């Protein structure tokens, strides 16, 4: 493949390449002039110049939330960035159902849940529920899918056990809370449990959530990762093509543009 030529980028506020950024953070001190100066000094210590504390608000007792404008001298070669992305030949609802009927010849079984101690169901509901998300039908609506949504705070082992009992093609794990990297710890525990159950490398394992991307999901041992703004049809397309590859109805070396290899 021809290596793309350099593409140097910098952040942009007023004028192209001026390096201006907006930062927001909270410090554990009450709102005061001293707190504002602390926010400015903290920003300078991070290597920024031309620091302006644009807003400071009480966040809670003994906590202040800041918005700071500042200049960064850091540049980046965009051409050097290489991130695997899940890019599929995207098909619409009717075409995808027709493809499942023709090539898979059975309903694709998927199980999903928000696992561990995480209570957030809205993300996994957006993907699975009949009514869907952002004008896109959820997987329950597709005649070609049989979708089971187990809800939130589901132990990883329970999700795996229930999915395995129904010979699931894919298991969808949602992780929204990321404090102290709990999403990574819980995802690793899910993968360990999947290995123990003998389904790792056999059943498709998908991870999703606001701080998830495909690269992280691969690192954690999943087959694919989906982040903010994912539409149910993105997931449906990914699963159908992955199942077809696994079953040999689409050649394993037929790659979509940008598909991870």
Residue 97 Cβ, how far from ligand B12 at the closest point, in Å? Answer: 19
Neighbours of 198 (CB within 10 A): 11
* 210 belongs to the binding site for ligand B12 (CB under 6 A): yes
Among 48, 66, 111, 133, binds ligand B12 (CB under 6 A): 133
* 115 belongs to the binding site for ligand B12 (CB under 6 A): no
Place of tokens 């554990």: 28
* 227 belongs to the binding site for ligand B12 (CB under 6 A): yes
Please provide the DSSP assignment of 45-73 as one string: HTT-EEEEEEEEEEEETTEEEEEEEEE--
Q: For residues 217 and 204, is the Cβ–Cβ distance under 8 A? A: no
* 230 belongs to the binding site for ligand B12 (CB under 6 A): yes
Give phi and psi for 65, each to the nearest 5.
-100, 130
Name the token pair of 118: 């995480």
Q: For residues 77 and 213, is the Cβ–Cβ distance under 8 A? A: no
Q: Is 131 designated active site?
A: yes
* 123 belongs to the binding site for ligand B12 (CB under 6 A): yes
Residue 37 Cβ, how far from ligand B12 at the closest point, in Å? Answer: 26
Q: Where are the alpha helices (DSSP H) in the chain?
A: 33-45, 93-99, 122-128, 156-165, 182-196, 214-220, 232-247
Among 70, 159, 235, 242, binds ligand B12 (CB under 6 A): 235
Between helices 156-165 and 182-196, what is the axis angle to 10°? 40
Residues between 164 and 183 that touch ligand B12 (CB under 6 A): 172-174, 176-179
* 144 belongs to the binding site for ligand B12 (CB under 6 A): no
Catalytic-labelled residue, pool 101, 131, 166, 202 = 131
Residues 59-98, mask of contacts with ligand B12 (x by CB under 6 A): ----------------------------------------
Q: Which residue is nearest to ligand B12 (CB)?
A: 208
Residues found near ligand B12 in the complex (CB under 6 A) = 112, 117-124, 126-127, 133, 172-174, 176-179, 206, 208-210, 226-230, 235
């Amino acid at each position: 493949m021809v290596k793309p030529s350099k593409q140097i980028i910098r952040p942009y506020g007023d004028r192209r390449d001026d390096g201006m950024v907006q930062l927001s953070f909270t410090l554990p001190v009450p709102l005061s002039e001293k707190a504002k100066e602390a926010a400015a000094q903290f920003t300078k210590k991070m290597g920024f110049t031309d620091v302006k504390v644009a807003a400071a608000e009480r966040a809670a007792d003994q906590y202040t939330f800041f918005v700071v404008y500042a200049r960064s001298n850091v540049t980046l070669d965009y051409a050097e960035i290489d991130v695997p992305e899940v890019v599929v030949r995207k098909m619409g609802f009717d075409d995808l159902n027709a493809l499942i009927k023709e090539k898979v010849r059975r309903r694709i079984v998927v199980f999903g849940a928000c696992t561990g101690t995480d209570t957030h169901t809205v993300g996994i509901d957006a993907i699975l529920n009949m009514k869907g998300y952002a004008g896109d039908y959820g997987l329950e609506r597709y005649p070609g899918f049989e979708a089971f949504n187990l809800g939130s705070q589901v132990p990883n082992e329970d999700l795996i056990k229930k999915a395995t009992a129904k010979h699931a093609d894919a298991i969808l794990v949602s992780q929204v809370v990321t404090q102290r990297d709990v999403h990574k710890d819980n995802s690793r525990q899910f993968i360990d449990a999947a290995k123990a159950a003998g389904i790792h490398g056999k059943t498709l394992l998908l991870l999703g959530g606001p701080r998830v991307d495909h690269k992280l999901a691969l690192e954690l041992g999943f087959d694919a990762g989906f982040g903010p703004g994912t539409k149910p049809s993105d997931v449906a397309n990914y699963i159908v093509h992955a199942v077809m590859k696994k079953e040999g109805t689409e050649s394993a070396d037929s790659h979509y543009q940008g598909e991870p290899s």
